[in-house]
Amino acid sequence: MSAPTTVDYRTATPSANWGSRAARSKLAGMRRPVDALFGPRFSHCEGSMTLVAAMPSAAPELWTRYVDGAWSSYSRHGVTCALDIDEVESGATTALFYVVLGPDGEMLGGVRAQGPYTYVEQSHVLTEWADSPGLDVVRGQLRTRLPHGIIEMKSAWVREGAPARVISGLLARTALPTIELTGSRYLFASAADHVLRQWETSGGRIDTTVPAAAYPSDQYRTRLMWWDRETIAREAHAEVWGLMESDARALTGNGYHSSAVA
């Protein structure tokens, strides 16, 4: 594997939104259905790439490289305000994380999952829609789905120069193993519209009832996407669903049997 990069976060500009002690206290109360020593587990994918799933505490070297990669990517796009590096780096609020490794072990991208949440204020999307129309709709959707288990996918990134569409597609496929491993019915993410359009192949659907948010700045239009365990098998593209089941089987264990409803 390639050596991890090193970022001095102490000299970086801190996030304005999620650095407060109160926010961390809220997130610390999340349910923990995944064992702290889960992983790393591997799914060998097309193109000699490998999808890896783990808890931060079970794969600290991979986690450090994931965090460094996220910081580098967000810095390159000038949106570090959307990444609370202290919170992310601690791993305390991450239920699972996934990375894509190339043939030589280089890290090409990653994403992490938060939850299942115990109350709606734990979700970062409330911050994202705080100054945009649709906040009440978002809050209502979170509240309605909360009793069934909701997981938020966060901090997705793709390394500069890597095949972005391919890596993004691999990361989208983590929806199924995340639902299975956490026992949640719903999974959601917020991102730019063009990114979510790619992720629709994995069974997620952009919520058209929620107007786009101007986040992290007026230059961006962030949309909300939901996956539902009871519809994901029908909504995913057939060829992608087969790959998702293969990934889930490898990442969740030999006894895997999908709870998703076809």
Stated pTM of the model? 0.85
Nearest to 85 by CA among 40, 24, 4: 24
- What are the average pLDDT values for consecutive 10-residue runs of the chain, which has 262 residues? 33 33 46 75 95 96 95 80 75 94 96 96 94 95 98 95 95 96 96 88 96 89 96 96 96 76 62
Taking only the tens place, the pLDDT of each residue in 44-97 is 999 899 999 999 999 999 999 999 999 998 888 776 766 677 778 788 889 999
What is 26-250's CATH number? Answer: 3.40.630.30
Q: Which of 55, 29, 217 is nearest to 119 (CA)?
A: 29
Break the chain into its structural domains and give their ranges.
26-250
Q: What is the mean pLDDT of the chain?
A: 85
Give Cα 238 to chain centroid, integer Å: 22
What's residue 1's pLDDT? 34
